[in-house]
Structure 1
Amino acid sequence: MKRLLVLFCCVWLASCGSVKVDDYASEQPKLDLLAFFDRPVQAWGMFQDRSGKVIKRFHVDINSYREGDRLILDERFVYSDGTTQRRVWTLTPDGEDRWLGTADDVIGTAVGELAGNALRWRYELNLPVDDTSYVVTFDDWMYLMDEDTLINRSSMLKFGVELGQVTLFFRRQP
């Protein structure tokens, strides 16, 4: 029982100091998802395990279009080991500075909060590894650097323990 109480206190204390998306409300340039994804985007990224070792690198071609007020992002991944993947996100505005997202491998609905140049996405993903799948939690932070460049850093967690991080650099194409 003491161990459980100590674990709870550690998790609670760690969450007290966490960054909030509103901390970026005054940062410029202001991120507008519809404007950023109004033309093709390419992204380059990597997954690092918790020790920092790069496990996989990848390139993504992203084509987007609108369906009413929804933004559709069609992502085509090519990984360093030659494998490919496709993920199609459907993003829907949910009030001011809030978005909801769905994709085939996302469990439930991703919740996104926007403020200034930052967007924070939180969601669960069904992650295939070899012959099995794991449900992992993503905490994504995206930062608009200039009108054509977006940087994304994600923590991937299982049972609250960080398994690794994903870093992506997005660049809008001319």
Structure 2
Amino acid sequence: MKRLLLLLALALSITSCTGVDVARYADQQPALNLEQYFSQPVKAWGMFQKRSGEVVKRFEVNIVSRREGNNLILDERFLYSDGTRQRRVWTLTPEGQGRWSGRAEDVVGIAKGQVAGNTLHWRYRLNLPVDDSTYEMSMDDWMYLMDEDTLINRTRMSKFGVEVGQVTIFFRRQGAGVSQ
């Protein structure tokens, strides 16, 4: 039985490491520049779906940013469909060659990301509060710049290599011109 569990865990870890390389998007336009995109306030709308596809929570986020030396600080204020609120403050640090690291209070360790073309790929572990418990989830974020003001984010959330749900978020820079 132990051997079967070990093989299952190994198989899950191998399949969770495969996927698309962010470099595949290197030629995609418009090019994503994080400092430029977050140079003005951003409003976002999103939802969390269980693995079954059921939407269990919707939310809005207001994001303001500032520079502190080399760091880009993103102050995110969430309002969830159940009326609860949350704040997450990211400190993003450029590492060169499109690579970024990030820290936030509820992020375990350091988030690692890379920008290529119009795409940012982030990976990190997040302490996620659910009811009276907190779960450490692995987050696999893919963000795609659609135009200079619109960014779409799709996140795969997993625990022990097994997907538990997805988060979809649409970002829009405030003050952005809206076509009529």
TM-score by length of 1: 0.95
The number of aligned residues is 173
Unaligned runs of 5+ in 2: 176-180
Choose the corresponding residue for 2:10, options 8, 11, 31.
Answer: 8
C-alpha change, 1:26 and 1:51, in structure 2 (3 Å) is same
Do 2:12 and 2:161's aligned partners in 1 also have CA atoms closer than 8 Å?
no
Three-state SS of the structure 1 residue aligned to 2:126 is strand
Do 2:49 and 2:166's aligned partners in 1 also have CA atoms closer than 8 Å?
yes
Matches within 5 A, 1:9-158: 9=11, 11-12=13-14, 15-16=17-18, 18-158=19-159
CA RMSD in angstroms comes to 1.4
For the pair 1:165 / 2:179, whether they are aligned, the reply is no
Following TM superposition, by how much is the alpha carbon of 1:12 offset from its aligned partner in structure 2, in angstroms?
2.7
After superposition, the C-alpha distances for 1:100-147 in whole angstroms (9 at most, x for unaligned) are 100000011100111000000100011111111111110000000000
Q: Distance in 1 between matches of 2:174 and 2:164?
A: 32
Q: Distance in 2 between matches of 1:111 and 1:172?
A: 24
For 1:40, give the aligned amino acid: P
For 1:96, give the aligned amino acid: Q
Three-state SS of the structure 1 residue aligned to 2:96 is coil
Three-state SS of the structure 1 residue aligned to 2:146 is strand
Unaligned runs of 5+ in 1: none
- Give the match for residue 178 of structure 2: none
Q: Distance in 1 between matches of 2:135 and 2:16?
A: 25
Q: Distance in 2 between matches of 1:111 and 1:23?
A: 18
